[in-house]
Structure 1
Amino acid sequence: MDNGDALDPVRLLILQASPFCNIDCTYCYLSTRSQTKRISFDTVEAIAKFLRDVPVKSPPLTVCWHAGEPLAVPIAFYERAFTCFAEMPGAPAVRHSFQTNATLITDDWCDFFKRWSVHLGVSVDGPRELHDSQRIDRAGRGTFDRVMRGIAKLRQHDVAFGVISVLTERSLGAPDDMWEFYRSNGIRRVAFNVDEGKGVHEESSLTASEHLSAFRDFMSRIADLQERDPAISVRELDGMRRHLSASPDTDVTKTDNRPGAIININSDGDLTTFSPELLGQVHPRYGRFAWGNVHKDSWSDFAGNSQLRRARADVQAGVELCRQQCPYFAVCGGGCPSNKLAEHDTFVATQTMKCRFKIQAVADVVIERLERRMGLDVPCSDSTGAPAPSVIPRPSPEARQHPVLDRLDGVDHVRSDERAIVTAE
């Protein structure tokens, strides 16, 4: 392997036990969610052997079972798979996490989660009227009651979990209702994704021109509510506070644009890196996003794949454009490749809808509060939701130099613990 092919140490492994999902969310990006095939034990064993040569950033390696509903595969499979990972000579230590819709959770599943110390992320979009408008089954029926039964089982068995909620046009108007839902159901770790066009879900219910201001208002209200009830962790707000309170010399790394930092493996053993949403997609320039297979390729084979080389060069070029042009680079790290490809048809791009919502708008909300706490009282946006010039400087090659970052250097009281949900978005 040429030194130029070297990949980052792996931080997260995303495994697909099956592409199948027992529900049919309106915003799902997976084209294969009706396929019922399952990963074979031979493939699990091949993955465990493959990992023997994989550099790991900080053991234990997090293995997230995702990209389909993991609980659609029986417990017996996971017992055998987890044992294989644990007993494979030379393989790194791992910790397992599931991202689940919770509709299939039973007492037996809860016993399994506790026995193996599985980290859980539950997908639930808030109160019934919001959740059931998007998270439906294949007959078009809402899934809220089934999800809440699963959550009740987790609480009954004292299984810790966090939630991810997808924000749509409708939910942006209901921050208080969503917060009360989390509070009243004992949910203490919350993360927000936005309904965005990617994969086979090409059109979002949100647009930057029509909904950015509403999203900012939503996050601002959530920040108000969190100040009153700090026991609830909000991934976006807490993460932004960490970035803003870090040393100016801190290298902000976005794992899904670092080659090798996230490894994605589907039920056939196909391999990709970067954003997990890319796995299985086909593009004229990059071909099929499957740059190796654990049954026949080593880590060095994967790293030297010609299509991966082309993709990583373009991803890095896109990151450099972000570094040069975007004043938010210091709290972002260069954007999400799958969103760039979906919106611009290339990795060599900068701003996306996800950037404007989940980075820029969230940064504005947090910065505004920090400035006021420091007695600056400078508005972060005008009436249109656009960032105020006094807060966000014009893009420059030194985009990491942010006036608010400079003012916040050394402000300890804005730091927060690492409490993010250990799952992929």
Structure 2
Amino acid sequence: MTARHQGALSEIRREAIASPGARPMKILLCPLSDGGYLYPAIAVGRELRRRGHTVSALGRSTAAPVLAEAGLPFAAAEDFGERRGFSATWWGTTGPAQYRATLRAATQARADLLITSVLCNGALLAAEVLDIPVVVLGLSVHLWNYRAGGEGEPHLGRARDDRTRESLRLYAAVREQAGLGPRRPENPLLGDALLLRGDPALEYPGAVLPERVRHVGPLAWEPAADPAEIEAIETRLARSGKPVVYVHLGRFFGGTDQWPGLNAVFTGGPFQAVVEQGRSTDPHPAPGADILVVRKPWMGPLIDRAGLVLTSATSAPVLSALLRGRPLGVSPNGSEQPLLAGACVRAGVAVRVPSTATPNPSPILESAWRDRGLRARAGELGRRLAATDGVTRAADLAEHVTRGPAEELTTTAATQRS
């Protein structure tokens, strides 16, 4: 537990000593409202509610239907006078709006704990001002500097030092705009606990994670698929009869356009594709390509019908594929994508697929489909991820940070493997 919480939580600690159980808390979920960040928070929130805590959520108004399906009370940031504060697209510039909305919503809810996601600098600052703990739900891999080790790790996308400095610079800018003074030199991006949704096998060999960081597994949850929509997709896929590749496009960062490569692979080849647009805005499948473009709030049923997943390597499709034992083709674009893509290739569960039409990536995809070793390793890692019971572990840690000094969370890739 960081020093700023010790005085405010002394009474909570005395209660924890007196009673072995967790006292009922009021918990506010305030992650980014995009599915890859929101759904894991919902998974943890539902478990904490099952344990008797009062759980509510804050986000963009567009998230309201999802929270309604999850059965969690929801407050829209727009109702607190803020817009875009919980958008992954605008996260770098809307920290102050997120801070103001979180501060108001948490005060109104009398929150004892915040659960947020990486990139939510405003929520971190709101927790500090309110003097309550905050748990951060991370991606599949650790983004910033390791505590120790990691020497020799290639720069995937950008160096860890650069990524850490840039993240801290953005945090400091939001802090200044919020009118808060400088804070002591420690990594504030971790909150009181940073929970990674991956596995130690995806970290660089021998690297030691910072204190307060722990792997908890996928935290899998997504809205239920409409059976009529699934039936319509199956009817469309049956027309071709070709084996299915599920393609999930993440945010486009100005790199190479992936559509020429997709058209080359799925025109006249042995496969057909279901392409989830994700956050890409300009799909353009070629006439005659065996491509079905969809935009759905769920992906599990589509991966179930596929034998291979091709992705730009964002956490949600990578984890969903591995949980179902599907090998991966990775074609990273920007941000954290090169880091996770490199980790999957290093773990032997993915092959790198060029996004361009020249050279044609079809032979790589066909080889990956036939590679029994690749499929076996993906299945093994998926079974390990499924066995972690991450939702229970995450809820345990969320309860723990309110009860006293945080336990030692340092771990290595070697010692955490099960």
TM-based fold match above 0.5: no
State the TM-score, normalized to the length of structure 2.
0.31
